[in-house]
Chain A
């Protein structure tokens, strides 16, 4: 690469130093709440990092995604959990392929909670809601249900005496094409607290 004292070399170096300086400056500015919103709107890939590391309010429990199916005869199946937590192993210090599912669930639920905190009416067409609905709708099943419903619960860690808390329950959403749906089957699109 050019390092010959030429004009091109000088311009490229100036551009590189300038770009790195601006990136660094944005990383400082994004820590300020008001500036954060402005930068985030223009940073779809989140390349300007916010360094938090469990601060100021870290996770104090685990989120659990459950779903249940509603069948054409009106029966409702039991709640079943997706992404059940496996045992923590020391080997995960080197190799931890399951960590992203849990982190994604954490991010999705955090965003869903934020939508609800802001009382945004359109939560059912929001990305976190659709992500969960899309997932539970496509879980492999032995018997095809007419509709499905999901729920987010929060537990509070090992040995906690605090009972598991339901955070969010979705409406019932039909699965499959209209021609397959029994019109008498239950359908309720309301979501919220159980």
Chain B
């Protein structure tokens, strides 16, 4: 298995950009959430953080992030992401694009603490990490970025797995069954099915815990085991996208897999 650092970086960035593009288009489809009366309102949220409530930084942030001025920023983000996905040139040679994507990804996160999720954080980690590495340039920085992303994704699954393992409700499946009943996440047919298959749900919860905890050591597993873990991860995110509507997690987290593949290839065994 051979994957050059440049190819791996391009794959990571392009897959991540597809998800971020969809997410940005979703913001623009439903801009009211960003308006002054929305639940992601800048006019209220800015006072939650003293550094953004006033002073020179606050003034600049207010000029750029307030509604509706944030909308052109989102259109710019959409454009940059589309270029990242479509441009045939190797992305490691165009760091300015990635720097732009990182800054424009930070904009919605800077407006408010509410409404964001782990996929937004992973997207920012990828673009900002790549921006740092590609601006510095060189194979060492590229490699450091790919290890950074690979370790972050292992850490993300692993810490979530250990946190679930510590909760008796996760171990006996009751909390997982509860999630499958939440109307925000699941259709009634899923809830009905889960109620009829209690043992399956219990073992499903234990499977998720086991897979997430094992993901902590993907980078030191034998190659077939590591590849199987990534395949399970792909299925896991596809499943949660279909069943729970967590579409952005699919793109943000599977985008990290080329980085994991790169690290598996260069680790030396």
A34 interface residue (CB < 8 Å to B): no
Nearest-neighbour CB distance to chain A for B112, whole angstroms, equals 8
Nearest-neighbour CB distance to chain B for A82, whole angstroms, equals 9
Nearest-neighbour CB distance to chain B for A84, whole angstroms, equals 10
A78 interface residue (CB < 8 Å to B): no
- Are A61's CB and B136's CB within 8 A? no
A175 interface residue (CB < 8 Å to B): no
Nearest-neighbour CB distance to chain A for B178, whole angstroms, equals 4
Q: With A and B bound together, what is the CA distance between A17 and B145 in angstroms? A: 8
Q: With A and B bound together, what is the CA distance between A139 and B164 in angstroms? A: 39
- Are B113's CB and A107's CB within 8 A? yes
A-B pairs with beta carbons under 8 Å apart, 6 shown: A21-B148, A54-B160, A88-B185, A157-B191, A158-B186, A159-B181
Q: Given the known A-B contacts A2-B137, A52-B160, A101-B39, are A44 and B49 also in contact in the complex, defined by CB atoms under 8 Å?
A: yes
A56 interface residue (CB < 8 Å to B): yes
A binding-site residues for B, Cβ under 8 Å:
1-3, 9, 12-13, 15-17, 19-21, 23-24, 27-28, 31, 44-47, 49-62, 83, 85, 87-88, 90, 92-108, 127, 130-132, 134-135, 137-139, 155-160
In the complex, chain B residues whose CB is within 8 Å of the CB of A103: 114-117
- Are B245's CB and A92's CB within 8 A? yes
- Are B95's CB and A105's CB within 8 A? no
Task: Tell me the residues in window 1-34 of chain B with beta carbons closer than 8 Å to chain A beta carbons.
Answer: 22, 25-27, 29-30, 33
Q: Which residue of A lies closest to B109 (CB)?
A: A45
Q: Is the interface of B mostly helix, strand, loop or mixed?
A: helix
Q: Which residue of B lies closest to A58 (CB)?
A: B179
Q: Which residue of A lies closest to B107 (CB)?
A: A45
In the complex, chain A residues whose CB is within 8 Å of the CB of B33: 100-101, 104
Nearest-neighbour CB distance to chain A for B192, whole angstroms, equals 7
Q: Given the known A-B contacts A55-B164, A88-B187, are A127 and B133 also in contact in the complex, defined by CB atoms under 8 Å?
A: no
- Are B187's CB and A9's CB within 8 A? no
Q: With A and B bound together, what is the CA distance between A176 and B35 in angstroms? A: 19
- Are A19's CB and B132's CB within 8 A? yes
User: Interface 1/0s, chain B 229-266, versus A by CB < 8 A?
Assistant: 00000000010011001010010000000000000000
In the complex, chain A residues whose CB is within 8 Å of the CB of B160: 51-55
Q: Given the known A-B contacts A1-B95, A104-B33, A135-B37, are A158 and B183 also in contact in the complex, defined by CB atoms under 8 Å?
A: yes
User: Interface 1/0s, chain B 109-125, versus A by CB < 8 A?
Assistant: 11011111110011011
B binding-site residues for A, Cβ under 8 Å:
22, 25-27, 29-30, 33, 36-41, 43-45, 47-49, 51-52, 95, 106, 109-110, 112-118, 121-122, 124-125, 128-129, 132-141, 144-145, 148, 151-152, 155-157, 159-161, 163-164, 166-167, 169-170, 175, 178-179, 181-188, 191-192, 195, 212, 238, 241-242, 245, 247, 250
In the complex, chain A residues whose CB is within 8 Å of the CB of B109: 45-47
Q: Given the known A-B contacts A96-B245, A102-B184, A157-B183, are A3 and B138 also in contact in the complex, defined by CB atoms under 8 Å?
A: yes
Most buried by B among A12, A44, A99, A156: A99
Nearest-neighbour CB distance to chain B for A133, whole angstroms, equals 9
Nearest-neighbour CB distance to chain B for A115, whole angstroms, equals 12
- Are B45's CB and A93's CB within 8 A? no
Q: Given the known A-B contacts A45-B109, A155-B183, are A60 and B135 also in contact in the complex, defined by CB atoms under 8 Å?
A: no
In the complex, chain B residues whose CB is within 8 Å of the CB of A21: 144, 148
Most buried by B among A28, A83, A106: A106
In the complex, chain A residues whose CB is within 8 Å of the CB of B106: 45, 47
- Are B192's CB and A159's CB within 8 A? yes
- Are A17's CB and B144's CB within 8 A? yes
Q: With A and B bound together, what is the CA distance between A156 and B216 in angstroms? A: 33
In the complex, chain B residues whose CB is within 8 Å of the CB of A99: 26, 245
- Are A31's CB and B184's CB within 8 A? no
